[in-house]
Amino acid sequence: MLEAKDITFGYDAARPLYRGFGLRVEAGERVALQAPSGFGKTTLCRILAGYERPAAGQVLVDGRALPRRGVCPVQLIQQHPEQAVDPRLRMRKTLAEVGEVPQQLLDDLGIREEWLQRFPHELSGGELQRFCIARALATRPRYLICDEVSTMLDAVTQAHIWRVLLAYAERERAGMLLVSHTPALTNRIATRTLDLTKAACR
Ligand SMILES: Nc1ncnc2c1ncn2[C@@H]1O[C@H](COP(=O)(O)OP(=O)(O)OP(=O)(O)O)[C@@H](O)[C@H]1O
C-alpha cells in the first residue's frame, strides 16, 4: 500500500497547503485526485514520489519510507516531459539513467530507433512523453503517479499512452494516482475518486 501519513507541507511555512493530510492507495487501485486549480494536486504528486519532502509526516510503501537513493518504487510522470529530462542528454542516455530498458517496452510505446539519437528539443511533446513513460516503467514501479500526463497530446497519442499505462498497471497490479482535468478520462480509468478539498485541512 502507498500511504501518505499526517502530511504537512507548504512552500511558505506560514501558509501550508495541507495539514495532517493522509491518503492510501492499494495495489491495483487507480485513484483520481480532484481539486480546483492551485489547490496542490501537483505538489502532492511530487511529495508522493519523493520529489518534495514534507515539513511533517511520511510517505510509506508497505510501511517503509521511500528510499533516499536508488530507484523509487513510486514513479512520477509529469505533465511537461521537457521538465523531466536533462536537455543536454541524447534520449539513449536519458533512458540509460535507469539501466536497460526492454525493447518490448519501447515497441509498445512506439518509440522509434532513430529517436534515440536525438536531444529532447528534437522531439515532439508526445514523443518525449513516451520516453518519460518508458523510463518510469522500466524501473517496474509499484505505484505510478500520473499528473496530467496526456493533457497536451492529441487524442490518438493520448489513447496510446493510456493503453500502455493501464496494461502495465493491470499486469503488475501496480497502484495508480492520477490527476486529469478531463472527466471522460478519469471516469474510464479511475476505480475511485479522492476530492482533495474534502480530504486536506489547510
Ligand atoms: N515551487 C513553488 N514555490 C512556491 N509556490 C509554489 C511552487 N509550486 C507551486 N506553488 C504554489 O502552490 C500552490 C499549489 O500548486 P500546485 O501546482 O500543486 O496546484 P495544482 O492543484 O496542481 O494546480 P493546477 O490544477 O493548476 O495544475 C499554488 O498556489 C502554486 O502557485
Q: pLDDT per position in the chain (202 positions), as tens? A: 999 999 999 999 889 999 999 999 999 999 999 999 999 999 999 999 999 999 999 999 999 999 988 899 999 999 999 999 999 999 999 999 999 999 999 999 999 999 999 999 999 999 999 999 999 999 999 999 999 999 888 999 999 999 999 999 999 999 999 999 889 999 999 999 999 988 776 6
Q: Ligand 1, from 7, 18, 39: best to mutate by most atoms within 8 Å of Cβ? A: 39
CATH code, 45: 3.40.50.300
Residue with cell 497502484: 175
Domain range for residue 141? 2-199
Cut 0.80: pTM above it:
yes
CA 139 from centroid of its chain's CA atoms: 13
Domain count, the chain: 1
User: What's the CA-to-centroid distance between 40 and ligand 1, angstroms?
Assistant: 5
* Distance, CA of 81 to chain centre: 11
Could you tell me which of 33, 26, 7 has the C-alpha nearest to residue 196?
Answer: 33
